[in-house]
Amino acid sequence: MEYRKIGNSDLALSVITFGAWAAGGWMWGSTDRNDAIKAIKASYDLGVTSIDTAPIYGQGDSEEIVGDAIKGISRDKLQLVTKFGMRWDLARGDFGFKSKNNEGKEIDIYKYAGKESVIYECEQSLKRLGTDYIDLYQIHWPDTTTPISETFEAVSRLIEQGKVRYAGVCNYDVAQLKEADQTLEIISNQIPFSMVNRDVEEEIVPYCIEKNKSVLAYSPMERGLLTGKMTAGYKFEEGDHRQGNKFFSPESIEKTNAFLAKIKPLADEKNATLSQLVLRWTVERPGITIALAGARNEKQAVQNAAAINVKLSAGEIQLINTELARAGF
């Protein structure tokens, strides 16, 4: 595995970081707890020492699964990355959306990052994860009802108390990053990025490069679209958030698969899967520090971790970029 320093900090994360959203089941059409635990352990055995989760993933389930999976592993050999600012148990802040929990009960999701809420959420996350500190603590989505300074004053206090090591953000634009930095140094921004979804390269990634802030790319496989295993008539399980998503329209799947067919010979030449080729390309992209790769079972986890063994020359990266442009991505 390869490891990269995050921002100006001394925190290093595994370049392939385990993304534990799907492990929590919520919005992915259920999960198998034992499979998820095995996936995390298999990743760790291959050097994936960093795990990204959030309280909202399964309304605590994902963090508890991570906590179970890491029992017995020396804490200083792990980097735990989690989030705050999405409440399903408190109707405050920006209303996000309606959803259903893993039991099928309707819940309302709010984006809220008031001071007392941040402190409370941290305590809950520490309990679920079974640890006494979080390596990187990130606001999950902007909350327009709370001053950014108030939110990060709370994170500052958690850092002073030793409960958090570093502060990050997710889904922040440049103006929000600048404002947050006035209260506390932000070392990273977790944002959506994939071969077919590169809007963040216009402003956010160049700003992060300039200010030495790391980019943690989430959904680098575009939630399974870039595996080459999706077909135009793919049927999603009940509760799967991908149903109705623009990337999963029959036209989008066909267009993406036509592009993937063009780069498959390169994957074959490298004795790699398409997923592994896509992940390696992602972490070679300027400004992209870490790729978050989700897995729901051991096989997927092992495959994701092995992506780091794929080596790409400048010419091969250019070949992929040329095919992307030809495909209209």
pTM of the predicted protein model: 0.94
Q: In the prediction, which pLDDT does 131 show? A: 98
Number of domains the chain is built from = 1
Q: In the prediction, which pLDDT does 25 show? A: 60
Look at residue 249 and tell me if it is in a domain. no
Exactly one of 3, 44, 57, 218 is catalytic; which is it? 57
Look at residue 235 and tell me if it is in a domain. no
Inter-residue contact 288 to 217 (CB < 8 Å): yes
The domain in which residue 85 lies consists of 3-225+277-310
Where is mean pLDDT largest: 34-43, 79-88, 296-305?
A: 79-88
Lowest mean pLDDT segment, chosen from 66-80, 93-107, 165-179, 309-323: 93-107
Look at residue 257 and tell me if it is in a domain. no
Look at residue 261 and tell me if it is in a domain. no
Look at residue 236 and tell me if it is in a domain. no
Look at residue 64 and tell me if it is in a domain. yes
Look at residue 129 and tell me if it is in a domain. yes
Q: Give residue 234's pLDDT band: very low, low, confident or very high (50, 70, 90).
A: confident
Look at residue 183 and tell me if it is in a domain. yes
Percent of the chain with pLDDT over 70: 97
- Mean pLDDT of the 5-13 span: 98
Q: Give residue 244's pLDDT band: very low, low, confident or very high (50, 70, 90).
A: confident
Query: 114-132, pLDDT tens digit by residue?
Result: 999 999 999 999 999 999 9
Task: Output the domain CATH number for residue 52.
Answer: 3.20.20.100
Active site residue 57: yes
